[in-house]
Amino acid sequence: MKKMSKVLEIGALAAVIGFFAAAISGCGSDEQPIEQVKPKGPLPYETLSEYEFFTGKLTDLSPAANVVPYDVASPLWSDGAGKARFIVLPEGQKIGFHEGEDWEFPEGTIIIKSFFFPLDRREPEGVRRHIETRLLVRDSSVAEGWTGHVYFWNDEQTEAIRVIAGKKVTIDSIDENGKDFSQTYLVPNTNQCKNCHTRDDVYRALGVTTHQVNRDINVGGEVKNQIDYL
């Protein structure tokens, strides 16, 4: 990784979308016109679709033009859930980026993490059941500097609705040996988001840090450092 004294601008981030979107959704959309995701009113919205983070079928999690997928070096264990991660910057804004762990996020930054389970664990990229999508919003109007929001997916898998209280979900699937498998998954309440993201009395964006994003990725068959590539 190169010495880090640069800033990542939204234009540079948007340039990587074609590759990562194909990796997550299974199909590219390079010919689509670039449009900015612009807030339609005060946050948070009551449904995930209102943010217009994703294009096409919501469960595909195919990111809009300035919604940037990323991955982490050491993902936390979440009862075996798969995760898709994205970051959104306000139009024209940029991240103050340093070698240390504390990046400087502009007001209105949204960090997205979506949780899902494959219905057949022998096919992890097959049909999935989406459970929850969490948003971390940079908001200097609150003492913590961030607000967390949880969106719970409906049974029809057509929408995720904002919830305050946590939920207990039973997930039925087929395990790696082809047998029926059932487990309980806990969706956190909004206070638990704060508890997990607080380190040394500071509310932090845990996934978008130097040591987590500093990893190798495959770009068109070529291995590159994710930070250098961004």
**Chain segment 102-118, per-residue pLDDT in tens:** 778 899 999 999 999 99
| Residue 1 domain-assigned (yes or no) | no
Q: In whole angstroms, give the CA distance from residue 72 to residue 3.
A: 19
| Residue 141 domain-assigned (yes or no) | yes
Q: In whole angstroms, give the CA distance from residue 133 to residue 153.
A: 8
| Residue 107 domain-assigned (yes or no) | yes
| Residue 175 domain-assigned (yes or no) | yes
| Residue 2 domain-assigned (yes or no) | no
Q: In whole angstroms, give the CA distance from residue 168 to residue 186.
A: 5
pLDDT tens for 126-153 read 999 999 999 999 988 887 788 899 999 9
From the CB of residue 205, how many other CB atoms can be counted at a distance below 10 Å?
A: 19
| Residue 185 domain-assigned (yes or no) | yes
The whole model's pTM is what?
0.74
Which amino acid is present at 11? G
Decide if 160 contacts 153 (C-beta within 8 A): yes
pLDDT-above-70 percentage for the chain: 66
Number of domains in the chain: 1
Decide if 55 contacts 86 (C-beta within 8 A): no
Strand residue runs (E) in 93-192: 94-96, 110-118, 128-138, 146-153, 160-163, 167-174, 180-187
pLDDT tens for 190-203 read 776 555 545 555 55
| Residue 106 domain-assigned (yes or no) | yes
Give the domain extent around 166.
Answer: 7-229
